Structure 1
Amino acid sequence: MPASGKRRLARRFSCALLVLGASVAQAQVADTGSYLQRMDSDGDGRVSVEEYVQWMMYAFERMDRNGDGVLGADELPGGKGSPITREQQRQTLIQRFRKQDANGDGYLSAKELAAPPR
């Protein structure tokens, strides 16, 4: 598979992980305020990039059955796709955080968390 195809597949998978992680988290949290409270590990009323990444990596960690820090084809949904590392997923989440941070202050508020992905 050409490199561009692998990158495209990795991006799609990262999006699928994000949706899976958010879906699991959303199922456990009834409203945006509760969602923020669960992600806000230091209790300052906002979510930093570190808190966001830590929360959203849940799906990756659950899927990494052998604990090697890489999701291989056998660990990916459908058993297909290019491997993705923990660091690649972390970088994708950081990019998503920056897009969601509408006011650019480096934190997500409850309003920003509730907004549709940008």
Structure 2
Amino acid sequence: MYPRCLPLVLLCLPFAAHAQVTATSDYLARMDTDGDGRVSLAEYQQWMSYAFDRMDRNKDGVLGTDELPGGKGKPITREAHLAQLAERFKRQDADGDGFLSEKELAAPPR
């Protein structure tokens, strides 16, 4: 069964073929680079920034209009992108311990 947040995650990672997983435990295993069984903010931001990094063709740290899907939308800096991810992480971290568990990864952000 797919976790409820899977469509959101897949939309955030349109170019990440390696990101297509079928269970929350797969997300945890792939995001958890230090193998401690939980996902830190840094691990979350690294994983969720794959698409940003791929789309930033000129590597200037800004997704310009020409780098955005369909060539539409407002430019966004990598810093603003990371701040958005930090806010999403905070909402997802239901117990407030600074890490995401498998259960928290499966739940939609509050």
Amino acid at match of 1:67: K
In the TM superposition, residue 110 of structure 1 has moved relative to its aligned partner by 0.2
TM-score (norm 1): 0.78
User: SS state of the match for residue 87, structure 1?
Assistant: helix
Instruction: Count residues with an aligned counterpart.
Output: 103
Runs of 4+ more than 4 Å apart: 22-27
Give the CA RMSD over aligned residues: 2.3
Q: Is the 8 A contact 2:13 2:19 kept in 1?
A: no
What is the distance in 2 between the residues matched to 1:104 and 1:83? Answer: 31
2:54 paired residue among 62, 84, 95: 62
User: SS state of the match for residue 13, structure 2?
Assistant: helix
TM-score (norm 2): 0.83
1:90 paired residue among 72, 76, 82: 82
Structure 1, unaligned runs of 5 or more: 1-15
> Which structure: larger Rg?
1
Q: Is the 8 A contact 1:21 1:56 kept in 2?
A: yes
More helix by share: 1
Structure 2 match to 1:38: 30
In the TM superposition, residue 35 of structure 1 has moved relative to its aligned partner by 0.8
Q: Please identify, of 79-88 and 93-102, the stretch whose mean Cα deviation from structure 2 is larger.
A: 79-88
What is the distance in 2 between the residues matched to 1:91 and 1:30? Answer: 27
